[in-house]
A and B are shown apart, each in its own frame.
Chain A
Amino acid sequence: MTGIGRASRWALIGLPFLWLALFFLLPMAIVAGISLGETTDAIPPYRPLLSISAGGIEEHLSLANYRLLAEGCLKAYRDSFGYAALATVLCLAIGYPIAFAIARARSRWRQTLLFFVMLPFWTSFLIRVYAWIAILQPTGFVNRLLRAAGIIDAPLPLLYNAFSLELGLVYSYLPFMILPLYASLSQLDDSLVEAAADLGARPWRSFLAIVLPLSLPGVAAGTLLVFIPAVGEFVIPDLLGGPNTLMIGKVLWQEFFDNVDWPAAAAVAMVLVAGLTVPLLVAQRFLERGRAA
């Protein structure tokens, strides 16, 4: 703690701690509270959890929102986890060779290649997702190409279904998989691989025995960075998904904006947080360990 006094130590910890407690932790507690409330036609559209009347303090807590959720949203909830899991696996399958190739490229190329992985991330996410509509729609690129080549007669249904949803998820989250994989793979000691080759291991064998196990921290970090946000994704199911591919993030949005049912939206959020708590705790462990290494 060279040169940093006690007061500055408190300031450095205190400012971000207070900020996050106030604007991250406290809001979560409020969501939990309101999820137990009732909707009314008022501003704001929910009834206070406690009210003071002549008869004393009354509480209006109920699990009604959760009961409704269990009936109506189970499929969306299950599907969200399924779509996100599949997207994570696909990102891993596509991202691993790319990260590997970048990590093994000559050093003057590496920064440039990484820059081009990052570049799409710096441009509007919403607009990039929207671009897929023009590519996938019945009169879009892919269909016209396939028709011109004589492979199909009628346009393929590529848009507003599970295919386009999954494509959008993989497309949007791929850089978040590549970067931690690259971070792990670039630290790999070349001499280990060379030693394996000298001892007669075939390339695939040395990959499975050396490269893959040593890159597992990157695999774990990438998996969590893709999976957790993808479960609650709203923009992609909204723009590229169809009527049968509802995701929980969109359910929450609809409850809030279309039905103006804030307590129901809060209940959806709570269930989503509950489902993500374990992955979040795992994420913290892995990301901390990766940093320590």
Chain B
Amino acid sequence: MTAARGATPFRAGALAFGFAFLYLPILVLVVYSFNRSRLVTVWAGFSVHWYGALAADARFRAAALTSLEIGIAAASAALVIGTCAGFAMARFARFRGRLIFGFLLMAPLVVPEVILGLSLLLLFVAAESVLGWPAGRGILTVTIAHATFAACFVAVLVRAQLARFDRTLEEAALDLGARPLTVLWRVTLPGIAPALVAGWLLAFTLSLDDLVVASFVSGPSATTLPMAVYSSVRIGVTPEINALATIFLGVVIALVSLAGWLMARQERRRGTASA
């Protein structure tokens, strides 16, 4: 079973089982979002009623806007911080504190969210009572919290891409008289652009998806989309959530396909340029 490439009954079976398991709940969500009945388990005919109900729900609309605002700001901050960190880890083999730096970058990837959330909340509360900043909790505090853990994910992607990056390109540009900043801007950053795009999208998704950290560090002024979903799920199963999940899925597939297409196009361009 290890020798040849391609499909064998064992491999096909493993994949079929794995994907059935991963996609069963998603399939159920999508199918029942078009169900006429309020019951999530009984099919009563096709309808887009729940999409209308969702669109008319001001609570979800406001929460979605809040989440978008936080997601864009947090992903952008995470991109800057994470790219710096990725450069530092990929390019500087030795500096004082590298071990601690590496640990600080790795820990937020795995530390349970309840701990991240609680610790940041206690920081914000302490900072407010000592410094008077941040005044209250809301969009700003959630953005800071999301940028913190998302930056560590961005750093992983940027670091991996830099490790594959051909440094002779930079050296050639420098030898031809380009200034270091020009090299960074015209050679290095375009070279790692796929990681930057993927990093931003990943950071944005992580922010959009986070319930636990946001619940801790948010205040009454800012309810994010997962917080709104959670409070309605706590009350009971409602088909509006299915409609929301389906829209989510559609947007994600569209975005990921777009990113994939852009990357493929870039690869093709690079291919024709070097040929």
Contact = CB atoms under 8 A, between A and B. Distances in A.
Given A135-B25, A249-B114, A113 B171 contact: no
A288 B102 contact: yes
Interface stretch (B44-52, B53-61, B189-197, B243-251): B243-251
A203 B84 CA distance: 46
Nearest to B12: A101
B19 A272 contact: no
Interface string A1-26: 11111001101110111011101111
What is the interface residue range for chain A against chain B?
Answer: 35 or more
Given A23-B144, A24-B148, A130-B241, A31 B211 contact: no
Contacts of B211: 125-126, 235
B163 to A, nearest CB: 8
Contacts of A119: 252-253, 256
Given A105-B6, A231-B112, A16 B119 contact: no
A163 interface: no
A140 B11 CA distance: 31
Nearest to B126: A30
Interface in A204-255: 204, 206-207, 210-211, 224-225, 228-229, 231-235, 239, 249, 252-253
B111 A16 contact: no
Contacts of B114: 232, 234, 249, 252-253, 269, 272
Interface in B124-158: 125-126, 129, 144-145, 148, 151-152, 155
A232 B85 contact: no
Q: For B112, B126, B216, which residue has the most chain A Cβ atoms within 10 angstroms?
A: B112
Nearest to B95: A13
B205 A23 contact: no
B5 A252 contact: no
Interface string A90-119: 000011011011101110000001011101
A201 to B, nearest CB: 9
Contacts of A30: 119, 122-123, 126
Given A17-B101, A20-B148, A131-B29, A117 B22 contact: yes
Contacts of B82: 16
Contacts of B29: 127-128, 131
B224 to A, nearest CB: 11
Q: Give chain A's interface secondary structure class.
A: helix
Contact of B245 (A9, A95, A105, A124): A124
Nearest to A122: B252
A101 B14 contact: yes
A234 B118 contact: no
Nearest to A132: B25
Contacts of A139: 39, 41-42
B106 A206 contact: no
A12 B86 CA distance: 9
A228 B110 contact: yes
B180 A27 contact: no
Nearest to B167: A2
A70 to B, nearest CB: 19
A269 B5 CA distance: 47
Interface stretch (A54-62, A71-79, A146-154, A276-284): A276-284
Contacts of A125: 209, 211
Nearest to B115: A269
A124 B224 CA distance: 13
Q: For A20, A31, A229, which residue has the most chain B Cβ atoms within 10 angstroms?
A: A20
Contacts of B152: 20
A133 interface: yes
Contact of A24 (B104, B212, B226): B104
Interface of A: 1-5, 8-9, 11-13, 15-17, 19-21, 23-28, 30-31, 34, 44, 94-95, 97-98, 100-102, 104-106, 113, 115-117, 119-120, 122-128, 130-135, 137, 139-141, 144, 171, 174-175, 178, 190, 193-194, 196-197, 203-204, 206-207, 210-211, 224-225, 228-229, 231-235, 239, 249, 252-253, 256-257, 262, 265-266, 269, 272-273, 276, 280, 283-284, 287-288, 291
14 contacts: A12-B91, A12-B92, A31-B118, A98-B18, A100-B14, A123-B245, A123-B249, A124-B226, A127-B241, A171-B22, A234-B112, A272-B115, A276-B111, A284-B107
